[in-house]
Amino acid sequence: MAHVADILGLHHVTATVADAQPDLDFYRGVIGLRLVKKTVNFDNPYVYHFYYGNERGEPGTIMTTFPYAGTGVPHGRHGAGQITVTSFTVPDGSLTFWHDRLTDRGVAVTHEPGAFGAEGLRFADPSGLTIRLVAARDVRAPWAHADVDAAHAVRGVHGVTLSVETPARTAALLTGLLGFDVVDETESVTRLAARGAAPGRLVELARAPEDAPKGVNGLGTVHHVAFAIATSAEQLAIRDELLGHGLQVTEVRDRQYFRSIYFREPNGVLFEIATVPPGFTVDEDPAALGRALKLPPWEEPNRRDIETHLAPVSP
C-alpha cells in the first residue's frame, strides 16, 4: 500500500518513571547519555520532563522521562499492549565494559544472545523499566566524555519492543501507513524498520503470551514511542491518512522542540509522530543544553510557582 509520507525512524521513547534524581543519575551518570533538555511535562508542569540523547539530541537517540513519584501515580504493570523493552546501541566489543560498569553499580545484568544475532545485556533502570544494550554497528555520533569514551559510549536508541496480542495488526499499520518494512522474523518476534534496518529505526513486535496481563501505565513503564517526520506538511498528510483509516488522532500539539500528533495503534500502544524541526537548540545554545530549567513560553509567567513544586536536582 502506498503511504503519503516517510517516517524517518524513531524520534524518542518516553517513560513514566519514579524519582527525578535517581533517573538523572542513571541515564546521565551510568548510561552516559547527555541531558539535552530539562523542562516540564507540558500537560502537567509540576512534573519534570527530562530528555536524554547524544551530543546534539538527534531524533532517534532520545529517551525521555516523566518522574512522577510523589504525585499519587501508582506503579504500572508490564504487559500486553505496551512497549516492554527499550534497546540502545553500544559498539561491538563494548559489552564487557558495560557489564562491569553496571554490576559495579549494583545493577543486576543478564547476558542475552539476542533474537536477531546481536549480543546484548538486559537490566532494569531505577524505576523498573527493562533496558537492553545491543552491540551493533551504529554510525551515529555518541556523547563521549571522560567517564564513557567513544569506544564504549551509547549511540542512541536501537529500537523498541512492543508486547502485543495481535502482531499482524500493528505490522499492517506500520507497513501500510507509516512506510515500515518487515526486515526479520523469528517464531515469536517480527522486526520492522523504517528506511532500512539501521539502529534507531527498529520496532520489534513480540507476540504476548495468551495469559499475559494487560500492561498498565504508571511508574516504571514506557508511555509511548515517537516516530520522526521531516516536516509539518508531511505530518498533516499522515494525520489525514490515519484519520481516513478510522484511527483517532489528536490535533497537532506544540511540544516546543517538535510538533506532535498521538494515536493508539490497534493493539493499544500509544504512538506519536514528531517533527524533526525545530530541535533542542531552539531555546538553548548547543554547548549549554540541559543545564537550565527551560519552560515553554506559555509557562514562563508561572516559573516561580513551577520551580517551587519541582524537587531540586543536582546539576
Is residue 267 at the binding interface for Zn ion, with CB under 5 A as the rule?
A: no
- From the list 46, 55, 249, 77, the residue with the least C-alpha distance to 140 is 55
φ, ψ (nearest 5 deg) of residue 188: -115, -10
In the complex with Zn ion, which residue's Cβ is closer, 14 or 170? 14
Please tell me whether residue 181 adopts helix, strand or coil conformation: strand
Q: Which amino acid is at 213?
A: P
Judged by CB under 5 A, the stretch of 7-15, 23-31, 75-83, 184-192 that binds Zn ion is: 7-15
In the complex with Zn ion, which residue's Cβ is closer, 58 or 272? 272
In the complex with Zn ion, which residue's Cβ is closer, 84 or 260? 260
Judged by CB under 5 A, the stretch of 49-57, 130-138, 271-279, 298-306 that binds Zn ion is: 271-279
In the complex with Zn ion, which residue's Cβ is closer, 66 or 98? 66
* Of 58, 125, 272, 284, the one binding Zn ion by CB under 5 A: 272
* Of 24, 36, 225, 226, the one binding Zn ion by CB under 5 A: 226
Is residue 62 at the binding interface for Zn ion, with CB under 5 A as the rule?
A: no
How far apart are alpha carbons 114 and 249 in whole angstroms?
34
In the complex with Zn ion, which residue's Cβ is closer, 241 or 272? 272
How far apart are alpha carbons 87 and 240 in whole angstroms?
31
Residue count, binding to Zn ion (CB under 5 A): 3
How far apart are alpha carbons 10 and 52 in whole angstroms?
14
Footprint of Zn ion on residues 10-29 (CB under 5 A)? Answer: 14
Q: Which residues contact 298 (CB under 8 A, 6 or more apart)?
A: none
Judged by CB under 5 A, the stretch of 139-147, 162-170, 192-200, 265-273 that binds Zn ion is: 265-273
Q: Which residues contact 284 (CB under 8 A, 6 or more apart)?
A: 37, 290, 291, 292, 294
Q: How far is the CB of 40 from Zn ion (least distance, A)?
A: 14
Is residue 94 at the binding interface for Zn ion, with CB under 5 A as the rule?
A: no
In the complex with Zn ion, which residue's Cβ is closer, 12 or 152? 12
Is residue 61 at the binding interface for Zn ion, with CB under 5 A as the rule?
A: no
Judged by CB under 5 A, the stretch of 20-28, 147-155, 220-228, 305-313 that binds Zn ion is: 220-228
How far apart are alpha carbons 82 and 171 in whole angstroms?
15
**Residue 122, CA distances (Å) to 91, 113, 264 in order:** 16, 10, 27
**Residue 246, CA distances (Å) to 123, 172, 241, 263, 269 in order:** 38, 14, 9, 11, 16
Is residue 229 at the binding interface for Zn ion, with CB under 5 A as the rule?
A: no
Write out the H or E segment, with its range, that includes residue 43: none
The DSSP result for 235-273, as a single string, is HHHHHHHHHHTT--BPPPEE-SSSEEEEEE-TTS-EEEE
Is residue 235 at the binding interface for Zn ion, with CB under 5 A as the rule?
A: no
Judged by CB under 5 A, the stretch of 48-56, 136-144, 187-195, 218-226 that binds Zn ion is: 218-226
Q: How far is the CB of 260 from Zn ion (least distance, A)?
A: 6
Q: How far is the CB of 85 from Zn ion (least distance, A)?
A: 18
Binding stretches for Zn ion (CB under 5 A): 14, 226, 272
